[in-house]
């Protein structure tokens, strides 16, 4: 823990100051742009953002929901980061999440009556195994055959989602009356306790915290993490240095998929108590955005997740109170990414221009000196 | 047995191939656009988002001007803007193509739903009257020939434009100086610079062409195929188009054939819905995409091994 705090506050992250500055400016500009859109459409932006902040932090329930969303965002963001650091772009987290949720729901329902101390870890394992195994397919295809993993993972999203929807409406549909679709309910004993009444914040936050610490430690403190980083940065170099690059890439994808599966399990055990069709509303893509904004830095992902979770939860309140569609926040988020992506290029262009100007001045000065 | 045959013919009939042509069209259009950026050395995974925005603007344009033609024009204009926007980041700012592509897709999903809800107050789907859809073209002599007529006649105008574009794109890419420069921009930008052509300019043009064609693909989806806009209606077709480009090695004719293959799987899924639960048949085109990509990868691996062997012999 001390090391973690040290890392967060001491010199190792100091050089990232300019990054944090440009991130803050990007976020500010994007929020202003959001306000301009509200103005154009005839809403009062102060009222809109006011409702947003109040919705996210205004009540214990709001805070609880925001924290719960933080868990989902941080976990999916970390999942993206683990794979991306090894040079694998896992866009298929949504499918891995669905399969993890489905596996956990099936095992959870099968083990009804078993002691939770045995059953819950088994469900955890089932969810992680399902997500990890599913993620290993595109990883192997990429490493062995060079099949673009972005395309395969996206295709596998649709496959997993349709498959789970089919299962929960067909062969695995609950026999309970009055439920349109969904699998058999898990034993109520297994359900995570809610930490704040009527909010969605559950004990899963503790599991998530452990996973986050493990991922951070793995990525920045272990030799494997170092090899992983190098593999992502320079595949050929790492291969010739004798790293088992293929294995590193595949393992990173499996870890990534396992974390996604776990997020699916949290939804089942924390909230719904069974697998339902709408178990995830593109949760993984939100997490991906967060990971990309923080350039796959695990600590940064956890910290900024709180901010984006507040935006997300607040936006629903904003939609209900002021009537501004909550999708505006998705727009604001993607604008932040565009700004961050542009920032790199703009500062590079400015530097180049400055260098050219300097060279010109020196040339002129030298010329003047000669004459 | 006769039951099986009856079931077989409810799936495999002229309708299947008619559906194939119709479902392939958006993939062909997006694929043609994407092969330009691919030749120019840009990995464009934002095509799905471009399609979605194209579909949305086409419907909105049609709705406000009460004419499908204006819808298409608006979609083309937005396509140019999207191409320039994408180019600005990828070419000028040299941002990560992957990040920009993903961000563009998420942006498209957000902005279309947001604007749909605020402009029309509708959630989910916004239907237009059928009369506002794209006009169909009937070719006078074709209606005398039974099957050919059902297949090739009375399609929406974009279907014919799309077939025409396949040939035009082939000629442009392989038979014109522009195509030569386009391919050079991707493979050897230095060579272009040495003859005084800016590779960036060529890349921008490719990006704009891609934007236009992707938006046309979207317009066909929302005006030709259906006459409505529904949330996330591109349904990963942009990525399937990307797979077609890989499979067809960026050759317009081969990309067209690959898209037909996916159109066939898509149509097959639609036709099978009478027999197998819809959620399972919906998987078919996506599974087929992965399957085809694996085959393409195996082929190229075998080819490179063969050439290695030949080199060793020499």
Contact B239 A333 (CB under 8 A): no
Contact B92 A147 (CB under 8 A): no
A6 touches chain B (CB under 8 A): no
Contact B106 A285 (CB under 8 A): yes
Q: What is the pLDDT of residues B98-148, one digit of tens each?
A: 889 989 999 999 999 999 988 888 888 999 888 888 888 777 777 777 777
B69 touches chain A (CB under 8 A): no
Average pLDDT (A1-6) is 56
A3, pLDDT greater than 70 = no
Query: In CATH, what is the architecture of A44-323?
Result: Orthogonal Bundle (1.10)
Question: In terms of CA atoms, which chain A residue is nearest residue B242?
Answer: A151
Confidence of residue A80 (pLDDT cuts 50, 70, 90): very high
Domain parsing of chain B, residue ranges: 15-129+149-313
Tally Cβ neighbours within 10 Å of residue B73: 16
Å between B30 CA and nearest CA of chain A:
15
A327 touches chain B (CB under 8 A): yes
Q: What is the pLDDT of residues A216-231, one digit of tens each?
A: 988 888 888 888 888 8
A245, pLDDT greater than 50 = yes
pLDDT at residue B184, as a whole number: 93
Residues B236, A95: contact at Cβ < 8 Å? Answer: no
* Candidates A166, A289, A337; nearest CB to B280: A166
Å between A150 CA and nearest CA of chain B:
9
Q: Which residue reads 């699998």 in tokens?
A: A183
What is this structure's pTM? 0.88
Q: What is the pLDDT of residues B228-253, one digit of tens each?
A: 999 999 988 999 999 999 889 899 99
At B312, give phi and psi (nearest 5°). Answer: -60, -40
pLDDT at residue A6, as a whole number: 57
Contact A334 B290 (CB under 8 A): no
Confidence of residue A161 (pLDDT cuts 50, 70, 90): very high
Q: What is the pLDDT of residues B35-58, one digit of tens each?
A: 999 999 999 999 999 999 999 999
Among A13-17, A63-67, A69-73, A182-186, which stretch is predicted with the lowest mean pLDDT? A13-17
Q: Write out the two tokens for B35.
A: 């092969």
Å between B36 CA and nearest CA of chain A:
18
Burial of B201 (0-12, 13-18, 19+ CB in 10 A): middle
Q: What is the pLDDT of residues B290-304, one digit of tens each?
A: 998 999 899 888 888
> Rounded to whole angstroms, how far apart are CA atoms A53 and A233?
39
Average pLDDT (B184-195) is 90
Residues B280, A166: contact at Cβ < 8 Å? Answer: yes
A303, pLDDT greater than 70 = yes
A11, pLDDT greater than 50 = no
Residues B202, B58: contact at Cβ < 8 Å? Answer: no
The interface predicted TM-score of the complex, written ipTM, equals 0.85
> Rounded to whole angstroms, how far apart are CA atoms A210 and A217?
11
- Estimate to the nearest angstrom the gap between the alpha carbon of A200 and the chain centroid: 18
> Rounded to whole angstroms, how far apart are CA atoms A136 and A127?
14
> Rounded to whole angstroms, how far apart are CA atoms B314 and A239?
29
* Candidates A89, A165, A346; nearest CB to B279: A165
Residues A279, A264: contact at Cβ < 8 Å? Answer: yes
Question: Mean pLDDT of all residues in chain A?
Answer: 88
* Candidates B93, B239, B242; nearest CB to A341: B93
Among A8-17, A122-131, A161-170, A206-215, which stretch is predicted with the lowest mean pLDDT? A8-17
Confidence of residue A170 (pLDDT cuts 50, 70, 90): confident
- Estimate to the nearest angstrom the gap between the alpha carbon of B84 and the chain centroid: 19
Å between B243 CA and nearest CA of chain A:
7
Taking the alpha carbons at both ends of chain B, their separation in whole angstroms is: 59
Question: In terms of CA atoms, which chain A residue is nearest residue B123?
Answer: A325
Å between B143 CA and nearest CA of chain A:
39
Q: What is the pLDDT of residues A306-341, one digit of tens each?
A: 999 999 999 989 999 998 888 898 899 889 989 888
Contact B301 A328 (CB under 8 A): no
Query: In CATH, what is the architecture of B15-129+149-313?
Result: Orthogonal Bundle (1.10)
Domain parsing of chain A, residue ranges: 44-323
Residues A251, A132: contact at Cβ < 8 Å? Answer: no
H-helix segments, chain B: 2-11, 14-39, 47-65, 68-87, 97-120, 146-152, 157-175, 177-187, 189-194, 199-219, 237-247, 252-272, 278-281, 283-313
């Amino acid at each position: 823990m001390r090391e973690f705090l040290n890392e967060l506050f001491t010199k190792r992250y100091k050089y990232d100051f300019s990054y944090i500055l440009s991130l803050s400016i990007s976020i500010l500009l994007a929020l202003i742009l959001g306000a301009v859109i509200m103005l154009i459409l005839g809403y009062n932006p102060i009222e809109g953002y006011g409702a947003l902040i109040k919705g996210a932090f205004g009540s214990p329930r709001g805070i609880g929901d925001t924290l719960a969303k933080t868990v989902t965002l941080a976990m999916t963001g970390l999942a993206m980061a683990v794979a991306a650091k090894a040079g694998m772009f896992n866009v298929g987290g949504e499918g891995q999440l669905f399969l993890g949720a489905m596996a956990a729901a099936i095992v959870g329902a099968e083990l009804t009556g078993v002691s939770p101390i045995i059953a819950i870890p088994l469900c955890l394992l089932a969810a992680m195994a399902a997500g990890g195994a599913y993620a290993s397919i595109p990883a192997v295809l990429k490493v062995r055959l060079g099949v673009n993993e972005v395309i395969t993972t996206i295709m596998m999203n649709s496959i997993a989602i349709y498959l789970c929807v089919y299962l929960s409406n067909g062969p695995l549909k609950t026999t309970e009356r009055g439920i349109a679709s969904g699998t058999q309910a898990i034993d109520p004993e297994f359900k995570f306790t809610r930490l704040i009444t009527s909010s969605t914040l559950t004990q899963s936050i503790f599991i998530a915290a452990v996973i986050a610490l493990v991922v951070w430690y793995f990525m920045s403190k272990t030799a494997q993490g170092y090899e992983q980083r190098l593999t992502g940065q320079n595949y050929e170099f790492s291969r010739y240095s004798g790293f088992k690059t293929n294995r590193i890439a595949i393992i990173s994808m499996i870890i990534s998929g396992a974390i996604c599966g776990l997020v699916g399990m949290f939804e089942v055990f924390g909230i719904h108590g069974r697998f339902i069709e709408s178990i995830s509303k593109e949760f993984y893509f939100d997490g991906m955005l967060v990971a990309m904004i923080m350039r796959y830095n695990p600590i940064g992902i956890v910290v900024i997740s709180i901010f984006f979770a507040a935006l997300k939860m607040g936006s629903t309140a904003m939609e209900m109170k002021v009537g501004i569609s909550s999708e505006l926040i998705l727009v604001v988020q993607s604008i932040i990414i565009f700004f961050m992506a542009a920032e790199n290029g703009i500062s590079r262009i400015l530097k180049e221009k400055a260098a050219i100007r300097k060279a010109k001045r020196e040339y002129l000065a030298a010329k003047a000196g000669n004459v | 047995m006769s039951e099986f045959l009856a079931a077989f013919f409810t799936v495999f009939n002229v309708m299947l191939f008619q559906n194939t042509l119709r479902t392939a069209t958006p993939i062909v259009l997006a694929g043609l656009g994407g092969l330009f950026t691919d030749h120019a050395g840009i990995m464009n995974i934002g095509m799905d988002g471009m399609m979605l925005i194209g579909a949305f603007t086409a419907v909105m344009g049609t709705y406000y001007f009460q004419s499908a033609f204006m819808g298409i024009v608006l979609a083309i204009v937005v396509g140019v803007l999207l191409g320039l926007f994408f180019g600005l980041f990828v070419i000028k700012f040299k941002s990560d193509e992957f990040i920009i592509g993903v961000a563009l897709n998420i942006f498209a999903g957000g902005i279309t739903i947001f604007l749909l809800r605020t402009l029309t107050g509708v959630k989910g789907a916004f239907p237009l009257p059928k009369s506002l859809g794209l006009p169909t073209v009937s070719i006078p002599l074709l209606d005398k020939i039974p099957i050919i007529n059902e297949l090739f006649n009375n399609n929406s105008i974009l279907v014919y434009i799309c077939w025409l574009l396949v040939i035009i794109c082939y000629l442009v890419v392989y038979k014109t100086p522009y195509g030569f420069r386009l391919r050079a921009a991707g493979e050897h930008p230095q060579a272009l610079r040495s003859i005084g052509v800016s590779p960036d300019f060529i890349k921008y043009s490719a990006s704009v062409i891609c934007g236009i064609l992707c938006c046309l693909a979207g317009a066909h989806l929302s005006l030709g195929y259906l006459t409505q806009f529904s949330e996330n209606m591109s349904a990963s077709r942009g990525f399937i188009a990307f797979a077609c480009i890989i499979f067809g090695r960026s050759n317009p004719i081969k990309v067209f054939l690959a898209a037909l293959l996916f159109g066939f799987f898509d149509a097959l899924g639609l036709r099978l819905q009478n027999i197998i639960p819809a959620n399972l048949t919906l998987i078919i085109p996506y599974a087929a995409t992965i399957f085809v990509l694996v085959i393409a990868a195996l082929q190229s691996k075998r080819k490179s091994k063969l050439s290695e062997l030949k080199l060793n012999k020499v």
